[in-house]
């Protein structure tokens, strides 16, 4: 393949990142099967996919002159199209007549023979990845309308790539193939669910390749490769998921795909990640749920984000600062604002006293209607710092009253390393939005310690892994809605073993505080014996399967984080960007 002489600055402006050719070439070879195939890259950038496509057509025996009519591309960016034109000319020696500077969402497939936008045998590429916050204005509206016309209802929270894929499918002939690099959100994001369903409706076979190691380390975006085969060609639908180590594994694509876990119609998992649907541990968890032995948190309680002050630096004070400003005691609410302030499975009055002694920021200023003189001085201080102009503050009246402050029964870590942490709030503290608050009012007071202890069983922790998301850094992130879906042992089981569980929660609390991973794992095993075996009646094999399933998901995210940190691209010959 010819190297593509794009200007570095242009690439930067496009959000372009170098990708290994080992990713692009096998995708194109898979998508193009015949020398007469026509191929489209609807966001061609500097043309890396189109150049690979011309090379593939040449290998298959296509004539150079006809290739210029078989390969079509467009891009919103004029400069990118011009780079593609030069690259194609170098590759085949002809100017391609099928290149345009255009907005793909405005393009429509035509039936006109010879038109660049007639239906094609293969659509390839790497669609623009613009997150919903930046994907706005006319283009988002246009994208959502075009997806809706194809029967796919995407929400306003969608990123650009999802409607792009829907639109790309409409350019395929029956039997055609789609080969795209997409953000890993395809596999797990809620907003991409209608797209996942659409892909399964449209194609005979949908292959998704995810990667253990980072493929685009510099882009900080985790990607998957989508290879969808047989547009509208069968009523049987098959999903195949496989995990590669890295892009190098795609060189032997047939071998890699042969290792896929296959799901036939009606048995497809909600998330398209290996480990999410196919193993014995996960099946066992599903059975426990069906039998009502484990139930979603939403049946017993509710997770939420903590208070959003808009300026913790002003509103959350250390005891020394509160006393310096002479803020009245009655206006100060004990609170936590960082996960490290709740190091264990319980937070007690003693812990809170320790925070005060350490002069940690742990007092939320929540004034009553009539401000004291010193509070008026504190408001003036806030104004001098222009806090009243900050987004959250300027949208409330008065700007210094933090809304939504309450005392939950427990906290849950929002971002977790190996083990997400549920912590019983015995100190009756409020929490900022760096933590999740968990209401469990329906759990009787005398059972709450045991309830928190029971959380630390491998089935519940597995459900956290399956419901949460992991990003580049390896942390598990649980949004309130995802936390509401985590599966907890039924209350009868907690009641039956309350004494033992209360004992175990004390052990766990100690080990979590000390951060001794080995001892934490041992204690989780002890909770498994009690809750899963004795409480729920699982066999030792079932428990082991659940433990294994969880371990695989934890290792998967931690390993990926490690590779993100250590992997650097060595050979940057072509560009594939993940941000449009
Ligand atoms: C991720 S890059 C892919 C470039 C190329 N296919 C590759 O793999 O290197 C996304 C490209 O989409 C282009 N783009 C963004 N919005 C577009 C739109 N609405 N229609 C066509 N192209 C668009 C950007 O200019 C950028 O070049």
pLDDT at 193 over 80: yes
* Rounded distance from Cα 188 to ligand 1 centre (Å): 23
Which of the two residues, 190 and 220, has the higher pLDDT score? 190
- Check whether 1 has a pLDDT greater than 50: no
How many Å from the N-terminal Cα to the C-terminal Cα in the chain?
24
Residue 575 lies inside a defined structural domain of this protein: no
Same domain as 98, residue 233: yes
Same domain? For 486 and 458 the reply is yes
Strand partners, 312: none
Tell me: pLDDT of 387 over 50.
yes
More confident residue, 28 or 95: 28
- Ligand 1 atom 18: the closest Cα is on which residue? 103
pLDDT of 402: 97
Q: What percent of the chain has pLDDT over 90?
A: 70
Task: Give 19's pLDDT tier (boundaries 50, 70, 90).
Answer: low
**Within a domain: residue 211?**
yes
In angstroms, the CA 20 to CA 576 distance is: 8
Q: Which atom of ligand 1 is nearest to the CA of 579?
A: 1
My answer on whether 103 and 229 are in the same domain is yes
Residue 191 lies in a domain: yes
* Rounded mean pLDDT, 322-332: 97
Q: Is residue 580 part of a domain?
A: no
CB 191 within 8 A of CB 153: no
The atom of ligand 1 lying closest to the CA of 128 is 10
**Number of domains comprising the chain:** 3
Please check whether residue 445 is in contact with residue 428, taking contact to mean a CB–CB distance below 8 angstroms. Answer: no
User: Are residues 37 and 27 located together in one domain of the fold?
Assistant: yes
Spatial distance between the Cα atoms of 148 and 167, rounded to a whole number of angstroms: 10
What integer is the mean pLDDT of 96-110?
90
Shared domain for 314 and 292, answered yes or no, is no
Over range 259-282, report the average pLDDT: 79
Q: Which of 549, 551, 485 is closest to 276 using CA atoms?
A: 549
| Confidence label for 338 from pLDDT (cuts 50, 70 and 90) | very high
Select the more confidently predicted residue: 166 or 214: 166
User: Roughly what angle, to the nearest 10 degrees, separates helices 498-514 and 517-527?
Assistant: 170
What is residue 568's predicted lDDT score, i.e. its pLDDT?
46
Residue 124 has pLDDT above 90, yes or no: yes
- Give the DSSP H or E segment for 142: helix 137-149
383-397 as b/e: b if 16+ CB within 10 A: eeeebbebeebeeee
What backbone phi and psi angles, to 5 degrees, belong to 134? -100, -10
Rounded distance, CA 580 to CA 570, Å? 23
List pLDDT tens digits, range 490-529: 999 999 999 999 999 999 999 999 999 999 999 999 999 9
The reported pLDDT for the residue numbered 5 is 38
| Ligand 1 surroundings by CB, under 6 angstroms | 14, 41-45, 48-49, 74-77, 80, 103-105, 125-126, 128, 575-578, 580
pLDDT the model gives residue 133 = 67
Query: Has residue 388 got a pLDDT over 60?
Result: yes
Say yes or no: 344 and 471 in one domain. no
Choose one of 18, 41, 45 to mutate for the ligand 1 pocket test, by most ligand atoms within 8 angstroms of C-beta. 45
Looking at the structure, do residues 142 and 165 belong to the same domain, yes or no?
yes
The whole-model pTM stands at 0.71
Residue 439's DSSP bridge partners are 302
**Residue 572, in any domain of the structure:** no
Gap from CA of 27 to ligand 1 centroid (Å): 17
Task: Clarify whether residues 228 and 365 are in a common domain.
Answer: no
For residue 540, is pLDDT > 60? yes
Residue 43: alpha-carbon gap to chain centroid: 24
Specify the DSSP class assigned to residue 110. B
Mean pLDDT of the chain, nearest integer: 89
Closest C-alpha residue for ligand 1 atom 6: 44
Q: Kindly state whether residue 1 falls inside one of the protein's structural domains.
A: no
- Say which range, 89-98, 140-149, 296-305, has the weakest mean pLDDT: 89-98
Helix (H, G, I), strand (E, B) or coil at 159: coil
Closest CA to 80 of 6, 25, 160: 6
24 CA to middle of ligand 1, Å? Answer: 15
* pLDDT at residue number 17: 55
Does residue 146 surpass a pLDDT of 80?
yes
The answer to which of 13-22, 150-159, 519-528 has the lowest mean pLDDT is 13-22
Span of 30-39, 205-214, 273-282, 427-436 with lowest mean pLDDT: 273-282
- Return the CATH number at 128: 3.40.50.150
Query: Distance between CA atoms of 73 and 84, rounded to whole angstroms?
Result: 9
288 phi-psi bin (left φ>0, alpha ψ -120 to 50, beta other) = alpha
Q: Which domain holds residue 467?
A: 279-305+410-423+440-564
Nearest CA to 570 out of 2, 114, 1, 18 is that of 18
């Amino acid at each position: 393949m010819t190297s593509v002489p794009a200007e570095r600055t242009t690439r930067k402006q496009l959000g372009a990142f170098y990708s290994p050719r080992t990713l692009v070439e096998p995708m194109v070879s898979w998508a193009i099967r015949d020398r007469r195939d026509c191929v489209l890259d609807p966001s061609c950038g500097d043309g890396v996919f189109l150049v690979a496509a011309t090379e593939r057509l040449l290998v298959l025996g296509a004539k150079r002159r006809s290739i210029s009519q078989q390969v079509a591309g467009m891009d919103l960016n004029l400069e990118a199209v011009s780079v593609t034109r030069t690259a194609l000319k170098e590759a085949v020696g002809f100017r391609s007549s099928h290149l345009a500077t255009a907005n793909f969402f405005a393009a429509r497939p035509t039936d006109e023979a010879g038109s660049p936008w007639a239906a094609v045998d293969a659509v390839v590429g790497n669609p623009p990845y613009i997150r919903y916050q930046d994907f706005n204005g006319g283009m988002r509206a246009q994208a959502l309308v075009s997806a809706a016309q194809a029967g796919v209802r995407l929400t306003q929270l969608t990123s650009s790539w999802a409607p792009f894929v829907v639109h790309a499918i409409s350019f395929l002939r029956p039997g055609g193939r789609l080969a795209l690099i997409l953000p890993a959100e395809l596999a797990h994001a809620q907003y991409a669910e209608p797209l996942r369903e659409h892909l399964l409706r449209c194609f005979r076979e949908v292959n998704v390749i995810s990667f253990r190691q980072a493929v685009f380390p510099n882009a900080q975006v985790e990607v998957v490769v989508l290879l969808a085969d047989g547009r509208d060609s069968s009523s049987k639908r098959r999903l195949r998921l496989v995990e590669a180590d890295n892009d190098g594994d795609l060189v032997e694509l047939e071998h890699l795909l042969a290792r896929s876990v296959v799901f036939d119609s009606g048995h497809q998992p909600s998330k398209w990640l290996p480990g999410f649907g196919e193993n014995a541990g996960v099946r066992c968890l599903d059975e426990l749920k069906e039998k009502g032995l484990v139930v979603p948190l939403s049946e017993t309680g509710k997770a939420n984000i903590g208070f959003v002050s808009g300026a913790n630096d002003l509103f959350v004070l250390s005891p020394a600062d509160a006393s310096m400003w002479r803020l009245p005691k009655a206006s100060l609410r004990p609170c936590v604002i960082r996960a490290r302030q709740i190091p264990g499975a319980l937070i007690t009055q003693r812990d809170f006293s320790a925070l005060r002694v350490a002069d940690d920021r742990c007092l939320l200023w929540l004034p009553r209607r009539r401000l004291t003189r010193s509070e008026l001085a504190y408001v003036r201080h806030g104004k001098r710092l222009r806090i009243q102009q900050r987004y959250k503050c300027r949208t409330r009246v008065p700007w210094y009253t933090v809304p939504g402050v309450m005392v939950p029964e427990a906290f849950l870590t929002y971002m977790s390393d190996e083990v997400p942490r549920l912590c019983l709030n015995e100190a009756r503290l409020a929490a900022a939005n760096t933590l999740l608050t968990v209401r469990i009012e329906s759990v009787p007071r005398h059972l709450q310690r045991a309830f928190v202890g029971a959380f630390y069983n491998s089935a519940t922790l597995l459900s956290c892994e399956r419901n949460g998301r992991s990003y580049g850094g390896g942390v598990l992130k649980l949004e309130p809605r995802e936390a509401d879906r985590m599966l907890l042992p039924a209350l009868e089981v907690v009641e039956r073993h309350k004494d033992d569980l209360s004992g175990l929660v004390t052990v766990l609390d100690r080990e979590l505080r000390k951060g001794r991973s080995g001892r934490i794992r041992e204690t989780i095993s002890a909770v498994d014996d009690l809750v899963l075996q004795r409480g729920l009646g699982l066999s030792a094999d079932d428990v082991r399967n659940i433990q294994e399933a969880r371990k695989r998901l934890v290792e998967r995210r931690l390993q990926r984080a490690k590779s993100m940190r250590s992997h650097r691209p060595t050979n940057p010959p072509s560009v594939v960007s993940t941000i449009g």
